[in-house]
Chains A and B, each alone.
Chain A
């Protein structure tokens, strides 16, 4: 939780509990949207937004129930309730799409960087427990496949899968140096190749992710 969140909390507290849940929900869709954009845009796997997703999934369940309850009693000409359901269902589809795309983008990163991710505690902590189970099992399946297909019949010394041969590691890591598009929320500066570069508020830049990674994670810079 950052300073702004705390401030927001004070705000909502002052307005009473009824507004609080609404306000929270309002932010949640925006948060999900931002989380999705970020996960898609940056080269590395970001920490799993577990609490946010849990809250949203509760909302999703409620809306599914709502639709089931109301559509049963729905008469053909009840345009009013039908329109309401159309809106509810549209929103549901939108939220489900965001969650689905977010989860799938993460899975493809997890598949790609699995060996790297499991070799570092810090990286491992970014996965949800379901994701960790998935990653381990998928690796196991792949391992079995390699072994039964050819690896087992190779000399023992060659059976490892994380060696660095001819100076090139077999372990695929995120391309931290790949450039990303960012928008700055306030004036800032970064170092690239020992050059200091001034970033101005609302400026849009393309630069390597490694240079602005910290600013992205503390929210001073928005990836696009």
Chain B
């Protein structure tokens, strides 16, 4: 079954309790989470391998909030490996974002355009902010 994350998240974490909710070690041992999350495609081995080999080519745009989802997922499953991999990916992509945001004309083509199209929402915001800052600087230098 498909659930929105806001619901799935809490259901997966919260255990059902067959009493009035008194925390009791014995009971906790017997309890189970309401639901079990199925590993989504974007955390599959295949996808993660793609991230490793082609960090800048990965299209994250379809997963609008990729980093937020990673943070939630890692929290739930304490997945340190995932966090490490994704952090590395982020650094690589962020450097590229910074490099492109520095370009003065807003003309992007080929690989650059493809990379920008593949950004997820936080990355897009980062790009825009960085671009605004560089622009402000260049306008200031040109002024007067």
Contact = CB atoms under 8 A, between A and B. Distances in A.
Nearest to B10: A166
B9 interface: yes
Question: Does more than half of chain A's interface fall in helix, strand or loop, or is it mixed?
Answer: loop
Contacts of A166: 6, 9-10
A155 interface: no
Contacts of A167: 10, 13
Interface in B6-49: 6, 9-10, 13
Report the interface size class on chain B.
under 10
A166 B6 CA distance: 8
A166 B10 CA distance: 6
B126 to A, nearest CB: 14
Contacts of B9: 166
A167 B10 CA distance: 8
A210 to B, nearest CB: 18
A165 to B, nearest CB: 9
A166 B72 CA distance: 13
A166 B7 CA distance: 8
B21 to A, nearest CB: 16
A166 B9 CA distance: 8
Nearest to B6: A166
A167 B9 CA distance: 10
A218 B10 CA distance: 41
Interface string A155-175: 000000000001100000000
A109 B107 CA distance: 37
A166 B14 CA distance: 9
A168 to B, nearest CB: 9
A167 B5 CA distance: 13
B116 to A, nearest CB: 25
Q: Which 4 A-B pairs have the closest CB atoms?
A: A166-B10, A166-B6, A167-B10, A166-B9
5 contacts: A166-B6, A166-B9, A166-B10, A167-B10, A167-B13
Interface of A: 166-167
Interface of B: 6, 9-10, 13
